[in-house]
Structure 1
Amino acid sequence: MTVGILLAAATTVVAGGNPDEVLLRTPRRYGYSMFSIGAVLDDQDSGTEIAMYTGLKAVAHNFQNITTMDIVKIPKANFANATNNVCELLKRGVVALISPLDPLIRQSVRMVAKQFHIPLIETHWDTDRSNARFAINVHPAHDAFGEAIFEYLSSYLKWTHVVLILADYGNIVKHTAWLNNFEGTLIIRTLGPDKLNWKPIIAELAATDSRNFLLDIPYWYAKDFLVLAYVHNMTGEQYNYVFSDWDTHLLDLTPFKIEDGASIFTFSIVPSIGQYKSYGRGPFVEALRPEIYKRERARRYSDILPFLPAYAALTYDAMLLLGVALLNLKDSISVRPGALTCERGSQASWPDGEKLIQYIKSPNISNIPTITGDIHFDSHGYRSNFNMSILSLQDNGMYQIGYWTQRDRLQITQPIKRKRKVPKKPLTSVVLRVTTVPDTPFVIPKKYDAYGNPLKTPDAWDGYCVDLLNLIAADVGFNYTIEITKDHYGSRQRNNETGEYYYDGIIGVVNRGLPHLCPSIGFLEMLLRTLCEAALTITYEREMVLDFTTPFMTLGGSLLFMRPKTQKPSIFSFLQPLSPTVWAYVITTYIVVSVGLFLVARLSPYEWQNPHPCEAFSEEKENQFTVLSSFWFFITPLLNQANLAAFLTVDTTELPIESVEDLVAQTKIKYGTLQSGASHDFFKQSKIPVFQQMWQFMSKHDVFVQNTKQGIERVLKGDYVFIMESSWNEYYNKRDCRLMQIGRLLDTKGYGIGLQQGSPYRDPISESILKLQKAQTLDQLKRKWWTEFNISEPCTNAKDSSKEAKPLGIEQVGGVFVLLIIGFFWAFIVSVIEFCVHNKACTKSQGDLFAEMWKELKFAMRCMTPSTRAKPTTPVIHEPAPTSNPMMVGGSAKELEHMVDHKHLDPVSVQSQNLLVVPVAESNEVLLSSSGDTTSSGSSSVGESYPPPPPPPQANSSAVSPWSHLNNNQRKPPSEGENWWRISQSAV
């Protein structure tokens, strides 16, 4: 809320009895004249109120010529009442007005002052001078302030890159003067009043290479900003912060002044004095100082120093200036302008207002003990030739290093000299800032903030480089934090506008003069210095701008390719051991051999058999080796497992490319590298023809990728080779069996730790690396991160074409089992058909067919019984002996039983079987026995009467045997001694 304050003869209206307000409640009389001064202020702005009274008291005390002054507060609830409040002040006959801070209310007050010719005194930043004919501003003009900023940033600090941070974007108007002249790189960010929104903005700036910041924020926000900057590792010695708020020196910023920390500057129009020293402006200023200090602590920030803020000093000086002007003109102007009214139609104004405002602008007023120095104004009412102190944060607080005036321009009285200190071991007080690019397995973020950004602390990271850094830090003795650079490793670039060359990425961060450490891949330089950690390769070009330590890993360029996909084998893969030509020969051979077997079987006498065993003298012979049997007999060797063994030696992997030369000789498969980095520069600068040809191809096609992950994804899509360092290649193809390295290494290089040239830390770090190599710690680290980390099932070398083939699976030989099952079922069906046909033929005269089949089936299914069915015992039938055709019987009992059972005895077959014919005495019964023994009818279990043999076969038999051309006389007679007899019917 805003109130109107009338400095006039009236009653003091102040609530409460606060002793801090004693200056307000004690009216005093000095001299004989009385002037009324009105002000429109914020109802909470008691500091300005105190400064106004203190300034007028100082005038009364020094010049002894002013009347009683009291306060009358006119409350203002809203903006609409501001004009009414000013009009109320005019009715009281004020000779001057003090402008409010609010720019909208200020415009209302200006319009009233302009209409009634009442001088208006302003004490705040002002960029709009409309309706300001009767207004003057004791605050420095923004144009002059811009000149001072420009000279300081460009001439002294020599900044070519600036980040302007504003509390409110409207404040940018204050900086237009120097922004119009600044020719460097400029970034503008607005924080806003909500501190929760600051963090992502600061995090964004931390990720850039910005190191120079100009902050136009209220002084009570400065500490909060620096705390966030510290969290984001933005307080190293390479950072510079310039706070434009006049009151930044009120804060104790010494906690941020650490060894090799950031440079912090500010400006002030209040003289820089010690905390316990006097401003030298008399007792009223020293009395004002503690009063303002108490109110600022309660209103703004509790942790401030007991110095005067700029607004209090400017208000004090304004009242001092106005009081002296009124006293000097007391005899030439009316003490009171009279009662002025804002009512419609009123044309009255104060005729002496023009004289008073011109007198204040004139240089006639001088030698006034103001706090901010001599006050002069230009024709527009702006303060000119002010004295701006330049302060720098030192160990004991803010210290003045120079000043700026419009007459003397920039004057640096105490230049800051930064000396690089030689480190001493251990470096426990040194903090290294690691600038890195996350890339597994070298640098892996583990913990993130609420915005998804990796944290800066060491425990929030993991990986080979982090482990290496921890070992080096423990040996050398330093601490560190980690941050990310967004433009990767970096390469040499050319500025088309200036023609100059520069490095981007991690190399660029170091090359621009920022200290870095990059283990694994990087740089080290002590800070609160920066360390850049990523897979940084030692190259000649980088050696030109950096110093590298002993390499801790050797590697080379390599080709990453997708392993050719093996098609799912067909179920008849067992046919693959032989080529189609061989299979044609096999089939031809199969047919020829099968036919040959059939012909041989037809020619061989041992393949011919009597189809009717009961007809001993039958000339019909049968050859069971048919054409079908011949073909089936020879098919089994084709399915022999020995043939499948040949399949195991067949190379099923066929690579489309096997070397760099193969890659260049084709155009279907694209190849590329990272967008920037050592591999990119290798091809770009190579003088080897094949590599030059590859670079020309890559330059014409869209083959470059932003990071390793993108390159691998493109490889897995097919028809792309990613050229990468062998360390990465080895890591990824151990985890993804779809990837493989092809060809030999393209070159040989190493990873090292890079430092700024001339850095005294290279030798200690190199010694530490050599110690780790000697202890085989580096080998253990690589084994941990390459062969053990994040591997659930490692890819074996079984898939390499040069390795042993794996045994055949069911996918390859499943067809054999399919054919086996088909053959089994076909054989079973055929056997069932044969079974049914045979039983039907045998049971035509023996009863029911199904009963007989069931009987035979039960017998066949008895697995534990003999496979030969026993014949039932049959009594011997006595029959008269034949009268002719004596018969000879012999052989085994079983065979003889078969022959007797069928009542057929062929003398020839008896002779050939060595059978004995034993006569039975006193009867026509004949007992048959083997081995020359004779048995009687009572003791023989094998014997049977038989009819006369059938007549011999006729000459016109349907089947002619191989021996049919022989008659009985040509057959071989039995030799002497053989146990067989010719028995005649009469002998029996």
Structure 2
Amino acid sequence: MDVECSSCRCSMLKGTGVSFILLCLMAEVSLSAQQVLRIGGIFETLENEPISVEELAFKFAVTNINRNRTLMPNTTLTYDIQRINLFDSFEASRRACDQLALGVAAVFGPSHSSSVSAVQSICNALEVPHIQTRWKHPSVDNKDSFYINLYPDYASISRAVLDIVQFYKWKAVTVVYEDATGLIRLQELIKAPSRYSIKIKIRQLPMGSKDARPLLKEMKKGKEFCVIFDCSYQTAADVLKQLLSMGMMTEYYHFFFTTLDLFALDLEPYRYSGVNMTGFRLLNIVNPHVASVVEKWSMERLQAPPKPETGLLDGMMTTEAALMYDAVHMVAAASQRASQITVSSLQCHRHKPWRFGSRFISMLKEAQWNGLTGQIIINKTDGLRKDFDLDIISLKEDGMEKLFMESGRFNKVWKKVCIECQEYVVENNFTLINSVWFGVGALMQQGSELMPKALSTRIVGGIWWFFTLIIISSYTANLAAFLTVERMDSPIDSADDLAKQTKIEYGAVRDGSTMTFFKQKICLFNISCNIEGVQRVMTTDYALLMESTSIEYISQRNCNLTQIGGLIDSKGYGVGTPIGSPYRDKVTIAILQLQEEGKLHMMKEKWWRGNGCPEEDSKEASALGVENIGGIFIVLAAGLVLSVFVAIGEFIYKSRRNLDIEEVSVGQCEWHNKY
């Protein structure tokens, strides 16, 4: 038993040793199969931003590549990150040498010009690819060939800005730049006055100060409505706030920003201001894959600690982050194509280059990659990205919308609106209800905020406004005349009014019938005759009581006199005859006959009225008739007829123009498909 047990123990120990050896061999095989590729990143840090956006995007890209094994199935991507101070070129050179000594396949960053030139020179000497994602002014005498810049070529962007100016047909443009590099980026536009009829005014934002309001005040005073801002997205966010405070966010202004991150800014306060705001967008957010990556980035950024206010939307991926992401993926894709390439340690003081450097940089320049910023094609001669697509975006009430595309391959503005991308692009605001509202608003002199654009509709609108102006003005004038018509204000309307007041004296002719009537009723200030009474009425506050026939006779010959009230008493005139006189009946019959024939009335009109005072005008305002306002209806009809002919002319002109554009577009498409 003991022997058997010992033999069993020995066999078990032998089996364990064999298993251990097999495990070690499998681990060695797996390690040899799983290769490691190291890349280096040099990033600047700021006091308020210890970790830059580019560094975050660099790590984000490496993590995604290692998680998704489709791009690098047999290789693990690692990185070495060095942080330097801003504009410290000496520190940048030292850190680059440290990374090259460690052994890296490519160096990413830094961003700013002085540090970039130092690192680029070292990488070129040791033939290690230097990957750049920020705009850098290329030197004329630059002979470095071991660098790649994924930022769009400045000359192509400058031509794109000029295309936008020509597309909107601006005749006067103000260029506002942040630093001297802005003038380099806009060379094509600055040279435009010598080739095109464009007036350009150049202004610079204040150096070392964020307060641009004095400059904006000068622009507002000078009525500079078309403005191009060349600045970073941080400066653009500050400028937008100051434009709003200066009252320049109106439909009269059109602001164009050359920054590629306009879409990432918080533009909510300006959506309903009516301002025209346009910019570029390099990020291809329409692509579902790009949208998925951007969403992952946003989720990680929203979970990170909050950062200082920069004007960006929370979690939004900027263009510099997208370019860094694409740069890492492009290097990873090129490394998979480059078989049997090993990374070695390099020393800056020995000047011994990497033996696989030329081969690797050639593969990087030949690689074509569809990334977050569209298709990436590098020019083999200068390492710049000259073939790219820029979306032209504009601020609408629903947010930033794509208008058309600027292609670096053809350098022509694609004027065809992307109908496939947007369900509703062109909308006619003049529906039936809005048209009625437009007419009623003009009639009520209130407006409707609907602005016709075509010449024919503007003629209709202008004629209608003129028609409503005349109608409302005529009605207002007639109403004012009716309300303010002068009426004689008589303080006395009857004899009873005379008895109740003491200001105006009154009386009658002595021994007359009127005096006899009032003798027992009221106290009269009597006069001796009618002539004396009339004179007293005209010179003093006096009222004369006399027979109605006498009043009528006198008032017809003196228009300053008038009769007040009706008859106080009625007594007729008669012709007296002796009793039994044969003439009584004859006179009576003659009087009745004259009265029936109207001769008495005719004689009264002749001798009483004669050529007396004219009839008083009516105190009421006359109504407006067709003869008063008929002319404006004729003008309205003529305007409508004119607008119909203009509309026909517009239709014919636009039809021919659209036909020409379609023919050109078809020709371009055929050429593109052919070549």
TM-score range, shorter chain: 0.5 to 0.7
1:609-647, Cα deviation, whole Å (9 max, x unpaired): xxxxxxxxxxxxxxxxxxxxxxxxxxxxxxxxxxxxxxx
Three-state SS of the structure 2 residue aligned to 1:35 is strand
Q: Does 1:126 align with 2:136?
A: yes
Match of 1:942 in 2: none
Task: Write the distance in 1 (CA, Å) between the matches of 2:272 and 2:353.
Answer: 61
Task: Write the distance in 2 (CA, Å) between the matches of 1:227 and 1:282.
Answer: 29
Q: Give unmatched runs, 5+ long, in structure 1.
A: 1-27, 431-471, 479-524, 530-546, 548-754, 778-988
Match of 1:137 in 2: 149
Which of these residues, 160, 164, 180, is aligned with residue 191 of structure 2?
180
Whether the 8 Å contact between 2:34 and 2:74 is mirrored in structure 1 is yes
After superposition, the Cα gap between the structure-2 partners of 1:66 and 1:50, relative to the gap in structure 1 and judged at 3 Å, is farther
* Displacement of 1:347: 2.8
Match of 2:93 in 1: 83
After superposition, the Cα gap between the structure-2 partners of 1:387 and 1:31, relative to the gap in structure 1 and judged at 3 Å, is farther
1:228-259, Cα deviation, whole Å (9 max, x unpaired): 33444433333222221111111242442337
Task: Write the distance in 2 (CA, Å) between the matches of 1:207 and 1:768.
Answer: 36
Q: What letter matches 1:211 in structure 2?
A: F
Match of 1:288 in 2: 297
Which of these residues, 397, 412, 417, is aligned with residue 414 of structure 1?
417
After superposition, the Cα gap between the structure-2 partners of 1:396 and 1:138, relative to the gap in structure 1 and judged at 3 Å, is same
Task: Write the distance in 2 (CA, Å) between the matches of 1:168 and 1:757.
Answer: 47
- Describe how 1:809-824 pairs up with structure 2 within 5 A: none
1:255-288, Cα deviation, whole Å (9 max, x unpaired): 42337x2221111110245xxxx84248655422
Q: Does 1:375 align with 2:389?
A: no
1:913-971, Cα deviation, whole Å (9 max, x unpaired): xxxxxxxxxxxxxxxxxxxxxxxxxxxxxxxxxxxxxxxxxxxxxxxxxxxxxxxxxxx
Q: What letter matches 2:296 in structure 1?
A: A
Whether the 8 Å contact between 2:284 and 2:290 is mirrored in structure 1 is no
* Displacement of 1:423: 8.6
Match of 2:365 in 1: 361
Q: Does 1:108 align with 2:118?
A: yes
Task: Write the distance in 2 (CA, Å) between the matches of 1:201 and 1:772.
Answer: 47
Whether the 8 Å contact between 1:267 and 1:388 is mirrored in structure 2 is yes
After superposition, the Cα gap between the structure-2 partners of 1:284 and 1:304, relative to the gap in structure 1 and judged at 3 Å, is closer
Q: Does 1:336 align with 2:343?
A: yes
Three-state SS of the structure 2 residue aligned to 1:36 is strand
Q: Give unmatched runs, 5+ long, in structure 2.
A: 1-29, 419-424, 453-457, 482-675
Match of 1:148 in 2: 160
Whether the 8 Å contact between 2:161 and 2:189 is mirrored in structure 1 is yes
Structure-1-length-normalised TM-score: 0.39
Task: Write the distance in 2 (CA, Å) between the matches of 1:229 and 1:527.
Answer: 25
After superposition, the Cα gap between the structure-2 partners of 1:775 and 1:169, relative to the gap in structure 1 and judged at 3 Å, is farther
Whether the 8 Å contact between 2:178 and 2:204 is mirrored in structure 1 is yes
Task: Write the distance in 2 (CA, Å) between the matches of 1:348 and 1:760.
Answer: 84
* Displacement of 1:64: 1.1
Three-state SS of the structure 2 residue aligned to 1:80 is helix
Q: Does 1:168 align with 2:174?
A: no
Match of 1:222 in 2: 236
Q: Does 1:271 align with 2:284?
A: yes
1:658-702, Cα deviation, whole Å (9 max, x unpaired): xxxxxxxxxxxxxxxxxxxxxxxxxxxxxxxxxxxxxxxxxxxxx
Whether the 8 Å contact between 2:89 and 2:118 is mirrored in structure 1 is no
Give the structure with the higher percent helix: 2
Task: Write the distance in 2 (CA, Å) between the matches of 1:244 and 1:295.
Answer: 29
* Displacement of 1:151: 1.8
- Describe how 1:547-696 pairs up with structure 2 within 5 A: none
After superposition, the Cα gap between the structure-2 partners of 1:126 and 1:76, relative to the gap in structure 1 and judged at 3 Å, is closer
Q: What letter matches 2:402 in structure 1?
A: Q
Which of these residues, 150, 170, 183, is aligned with residue 159 of structure 1?
170
Task: Write the distance in 2 (CA, Å) between the matches of 1:215 and 1:119.
Answer: 34
* Displacement of 1:175: 1.0
After superposition, the Cα gap between the structure-2 partners of 1:293 and 1:399, relative to the gap in structure 1 and judged at 3 Å, is farther
Q: How many residue pairs get matched?
A: 423
After superposition, the Cα gap between the structure-2 partners of 1:304 and 1:342, relative to the gap in structure 1 and judged at 3 Å, is same
* Displacement of 1:200: 1.6
* Displacement of 1:429: 12
Whether the 8 Å contact between 1:114 and 1:131 is mirrored in structure 2 is no
Q: What is the RMSD of the two structures over their aligned residues, measured on CA atoms?
A: 3.9
After superposition, the Cα gap between the structure-2 partners of 1:763 and 1:141, relative to the gap in structure 1 and judged at 3 Å, is same
Match of 2:227 in 1: 213
Three-state SS of the structure 2 residue aligned to 1:758 is helix
Match of 1:348 in 2: 352
Whether the 8 Å contact between 1:243 and 1:267 is mirrored in structure 2 is yes
Q: Does 1:395 align with 2:402?
A: no
1:324-357, Cα deviation, whole Å (9 max, x unpaired): 11121132x2x223x32233xx231112212111
Three-state SS of the structure 1 residue aligned to 2:334 is helix
* Displacement of 1:133: 1.7
* Displacement of 1:121: 0.4
Larger radius of gyration: 1
After superposition, the Cα gap between the structure-2 partners of 1:195 and 1:424, relative to the gap in structure 1 and judged at 3 Å, is farther
Match of 2:263 in 1: 249
- Amino-acid identity (%): 19
Which of these residues, 320, 331, 350, is aligned with residue 322 of structure 1?
331
Match of 1:463 in 2: none
After superposition, the Cα gap between the structure-2 partners of 1:425 and 1:195, relative to the gap in structure 1 and judged at 3 Å, is farther
- Describe how 1:926-941 pairs up with structure 2 within 5 A: none
After superposition, the Cα gap between the structure-2 partners of 1:32 and 1:757, relative to the gap in structure 1 and judged at 3 Å, is same
Q: What letter matches 1:159 in structure 2?
A: W
1:150-174, Cα deviation, whole Å (9 max, x unpaired): 22221x2122221112222332211
Greater relative CO, 1 or 2 (CA 8 Å, sep 6+):
2
- Describe how 1:721-800 pairs up with structure 2 within 5 A: 758=462, 761-762=465-466
* Displacement of 1:289: 3.1
Q: What letter matches 1:347 in structure 2?
A: H
Match of 1:309 in 2: 318
Task: Write the distance in 2 (CA, Å) between the matches of 1:282 and 1:64.
Answer: 24
Three-state SS of the structure 1 residue aligned to 2:121 is helix
* Displacement of 1:290: 2.8
Three-state SS of the structure 2 residue aligned to 1:270 is coil
Task: Write the distance in 1 (CA, Å) between the matches of 2:441 and 2:137.
Answer: 47
After superposition, the Cα gap between the structure-2 partners of 1:340 and 1:224, relative to the gap in structure 1 and judged at 3 Å, is closer
Which of these residues, 38, 48, 62, is aligned with residue 56 of structure 1?
62
Whether the 8 Å contact between 2:130 and 2:147 is mirrored in structure 1 is yes
Q: Does 1:67 align with 2:81?
A: no
Three-state SS of the structure 1 residue aligned to 2:76 is coil
Three-state SS of the structure 1 residue aligned to 2:182 is helix
Whether the 8 Å contact between 1:214 and 1:242 is mirrored in structure 2 is yes
After superposition, the Cα gap between the structure-2 partners of 1:161 and 1:72, relative to the gap in structure 1 and judged at 3 Å, is closer
Match of 1:97 in 2: 107
Three-state SS of the structure 1 residue aligned to 2:152 is coil
* Displacement of 1:764: 5.2
Q: What letter matches 2:322 in structure 1?
A: A
Q: Does 1:239 align with 2:248?
A: no
Q: What letter matches 1:48 in structure 2?
A: E
Whether the 8 Å contact between 1:268 and 1:388 is mirrored in structure 2 is yes
Task: Write the distance in 1 (CA, Å) between the matches of 2:390 and 2:31.
Answer: 37
Task: Write the distance in 2 (CA, Å) between the matches of 1:426 and 1:300.
Answer: 44
Task: Write the distance in 2 (CA, Å) between the matches of 1:340 and 1:213.
Answer: 50
After superposition, the Cα gap between the structure-2 partners of 1:758 and 1:51, relative to the gap in structure 1 and judged at 3 Å, is same
Q: What letter matches 1:393 in structure 2?
A: L
